[in-house]
Structure 1
Amino acid sequence: FVSRVDTAIDPQLEKRGNKDLLGKIAVANAKIAYDDFRNIFKGKRWKKLADAGARVQRPLWASTSTKNPAYSDTLYVDELIGADTVNTVPPATYKAFKDHGNPALTITKGVKKAKDDVKKLGKLGISLDDVTKKLLKDGVAQFADSFKTLMSSIEQKKKQLEADKEAYTASLGKYQEAVDKRLEEIAADNVVQKIWNFDYMVWRDDPTEISNRLGWLHIPEVMVDALPDINKVVDEVKADGYKNALLLGMGGSSLAPLVIRETYGVKKGYLDVAVLDSTDPGAVLEQRKRLNLSKTVFIVSTKSGGTAETLSFMKYFYNETLAEVGKKDVGQHFIAITDPGSGLQKIATELKFRKIFLNDPNIGGRYSALSFVGIPPAAFQGVDLDTLLGRAISMLRNNESCSDSGKGDQSGVWLGAILGELTKAGHDKVTLVASPPIQGFGSWVEQLIAESTGKEGKGILPVDREPLAAPEFYANDRLFVYLRLVNDNTYDRQV
């Protein structure tokens, strides 16, 4: 687990004020391991084995996506190229390497410096052995959890097949032909492949804004790799006796945590996570009166790092907590979620926040639900993130270019084609109907659709939680989308 070594060690280096070794120990550890590998598989004894057909046991570099956006996105590929190695490169990292990687023999260079860096690490009181042992333990547990998720998904699919129900269907009447034609055109033009290649021409001629906003395509995979670090923070906060968490954020930074809180609730033994996204003094005062500040951790979430409302919330609760717990401990009550280089990152570093989660800057706020914006708050309330992210990755795979959009295999493309064609035909009011346990999801979809369309005079109006009426009460401008949980028939008859 290459990059996870840096993820585990960098925070310890920052606490000790050492910046020289940041982002270097993971590569150093791998280079030393490769040097040991070369020393093992050489000499007369090995030559006899090789002559008899024996092969080396190749070092395998896993977890080679870059977790820290401040580092090169090809760091753990560029630095580990050598003979007889295997690199399990994630798709996003592979594409980045194809675009701007450095294909050169690098693994054998700088071995002495690597050993020196590890020695310096030890002198700082940080044990690389302890870190790697924990990573191994966590990694095995994560693989076991992933296997459980896989088996659970198979079981769900089995039940679905036994019930003879499709995961998604559409009753489009006379518009079915137009949707089918659109899906065929999307397939013929390789639209999905272009999107995965970050081709801005799918939308418009200007590359800047769009090309820098597609990081969400691969974020579920990135967050799976980040789970050990997130869970470590959650475990530490729980062990320190914290009972509540208050997320301070606005708009896209607060909506996903709100929906997750409403949908999943709080698991026993975890933190009661609330969200403050209103500048109404009464709402702020209500949270202040409700919370025991000595048992509360504040999650300050703003991607830009400069949202005035969020920073105002932070300043207020920081000063209130400072007065109660003192300067020495106040930083342990705060966690920051922001983009690299933001004003909040600087503030959080200066005030010694417990943790700073740096998000991918190539993700817009309303597309950030499965990034650090949504996942750490969910972890604090005990959401099963292995299952959640596992299902997200299943959806990701379903919508990759290897599926056939022309046949409707890609569920996301299929839904997009329906929304687009029905809107063109005048059905531009998308009415969301959801089973009661997941009604909160409509709030997030509502913002996603409302803010993502209408930029050029063509938009879709989402309608959420509207009481259902008889057909004669609606104009001919609706498209109903029904999100139904298995075994829930609350709205079956009305829909």
Structure 2
Amino acid sequence: MLYRHDTENCFASAIGARGLTDDQYASTLAQTGAALDVISQAYADNSLPLLRLAEADADLQSVKPLAERWRQDFDDVVVLGTGGSSLGGQTVCALADVGFGPRAGAPHLHFIDNIDPHTFDALFGQVGLNRTGFIVISKSGGTAETITQFLICLEAMDVEAGEDAAADAFLIITEPGDNPLRQIAMSRGLSVFDHDPGIGGRFSVLSQVGMLPAMIAGLDPAAVRSGAGEVLKAALDAKTPADCPAAVGAALNVSLFKNKGATSTVLMPYADRLASFAMWFQQLWGESLGKDGTGTTPIGAIGTRDQHSQLQLYLDGPHDKMFTLLTIDVAGAGGTVNASSDDRLAYLNGRSMGDLLEAEQRATAAALVDKGCPTRMISINALDEKSLGALMMHFMLETIIAAHLLGVNPFDQPAVETGKQLARQFLSEMDSPA
């Protein structure tokens, strides 16, 4: 297995009354067996296309020439989309760029997932549209925010580079059929890739939605899928739910929610490259499970930064949370501290930055456990494409299984539609533009 899953500090035997009893946990874990059966059947009959992506390769090979051409032709690539159309790609591409620029030979990727006018003004002031490509992603093809982003960028390209330039500079990913995004793209002769209708946006990271940007960034999408595939295979081969870490994680979350009032679940990775992963998880968990008056609230945090902002609340505030610390073996990594001139810093002298991070990871876990907070550890030896793919598949499966335990459909988001309808209504009620 590409990660270690330590759950002992979620139980009463380790943390006292706020932890689960063996009977409480066993009762919930037993219910995950039915969910694993559903997943196995969905894999067998391909009724959940997400599960087949991990072993697919033809789609990657088909877009490889385009990705290589875009790496050569463009200095900047802008990915337009929101929610699952953006967060998965952001998460994977963070392996290549944490904010200091792309890898050598790769364009600078910009994931624009909001409609703040100031951001677009800044974007157009920063990039040269003659050397910029745009990937526009909307599963439905009717997402108002993405359509707005697209049309504004398309007009800007027309003005600066001429209308003929768009055909080589825009790529659309949307589901088949008649939808506004596809219709505009076809009328302008833009390239269109099909978004599988059977894969929801928040589960689409292993599709071209996430893998094409990764390829352009110089990453290995096949390795991402390979890591995901290992986790899926382990789940499919599990003889009992206890042999499947995703089932164990789902059972812990739901049992702590139902038996101990853990209404929030905190994911705290100890790596800057996983900051987007925490945001991706928040959508995955929240939008999949928050239905019919049930579900737990996902909270993203980053270690060590949020030890200096949120940890006080976690330790001394309401005991209504489960914690997952996502750690990497980093001891010995990074520069070494020379603090020999000050006895007050003797504890740092000769230690590497990785040593301190390793100690901070352990200290946070110990502090949470000391306060009786249910805390699990998910640990990896190194963060790369394969281990990231494994983590993403783990949490997708954990979410699907948790949905089964809660009795909700993880693949829809009915409440969100109300806000979309109201936004259109309020827009129509505004004064007409001059």
Q: TM-score, normalised by structure 2?
A: 0.68
CA distance in 1, matches of 2:186, 2:225: 29
Pick one of 39, 49, 58 that aligns with 1:195.
Answer: 39
Structure showing greater relative contact order (alpha-carbon pairs closer than 8 Å, 6 or more residues apart) = 2
Tell me the residue number matched to 2:317.
474
Q: Is the 8 A contact 1:212 1:363 kept in 2?
A: no
Tell me the residue number matched to 2:64.
231
Per-residue CA distance 1:35-73 (angstroms, 9 max, x = gap):
xxxxxxxxxxxxxxxxxxxxxxxxxxxxxxxxxxxxxxx
Per-residue CA distance 1:330-376 (angstroms, 9 max, x = gap):
210000111111332232222122x3221210111211122222111
CA distance in 1, matches of 2:268, 2:153: 38
Deviates more, 1:484-493 or 1:379-388: 484-493
Aligned pairs for 1:416-431 within 5 A: 416-425=250-259, 426-431=261-266
CA distance in 2, matches of 1:356, 1:409: 42
Aligned length: 315
What SS is found at the alignment partner of 2:9? coil
Query: How far 1:267 sits from its partner (Å)?
Result: 2.3
Query: How far 1:457 sits from its partner (Å)?
Result: 0.8
RMSD, matched Cα: 2.4
Query: How far 1:470 sits from its partner (Å)?
Result: 7.7
Aligned pairs for 1:305-324 within 5 A: 305-324=141-160
Per-residue CA distance 1:166-225 (angstroms, 9 max, x = gap):
4444422231512233323433xx4312233249xxxxxxxxxxx998332222223x33
CA distance in 1, matches of 2:8, 2:168: 50
- Please tell me whether residue 432 in structure 1 is matched to residue 267 in structure 2: yes
CA distance in 1, matches of 2:175, 2:222: 24
Larger radius of gyration: 1
Aligned pairs for 1:38-49 within 5 A: none
- Please tell me whether residue 284 in structure 1 is matched to residue 120 in structure 2: yes
What SS is found at the alignment partner of 1:427? coil
Residue 394 of structure 1 aligns to which amino acid in structure 2?
A: E
Q: TM-score, normalised by structure 1?
A: 0.60
Q: Structure 1: which 5+ runs fail to align?
A: 1-152, 161-165, 200-210
CA distance in 2, matches of 1:274, 1:179: 43
Q: Is the 8 A contact 1:261 1:274 kept in 2?
A: no
Aligned pairs for 1:84-483 within 5 A: 166-174=4-12, 175-177=20-22, 178-187=24-33, 190-198=34-42, 214-222=48-56, 224-239=57-72, 241-265=73-97, 266-341=102-177, 342-353=179-190, 355-400=191-236, 402-406=237-241, 408-425=242-259, 426-437=261-272, 438-465=274-301, 466=306, 467-469=310-312, 472-483=315-326
Q: Structure 2: which 5+ runs fail to align?
A: 13-19, 331-356, 366-434
Tell me the residue number matched to 1:120.
none
Identity of aligned residues (%): 26
Residue 256 of structure 2 aligns to which amino acid in structure 1?
A: L
Taking a change above 3 Å as real, the CA distance of residues 250 and 481 of structure 1, as seen in their structure-2 partners, is same
What SS is found at the alignment partner of 1:446? helix
Q: Is the 8 A contact 1:427 1:477 kept in 2?
A: yes
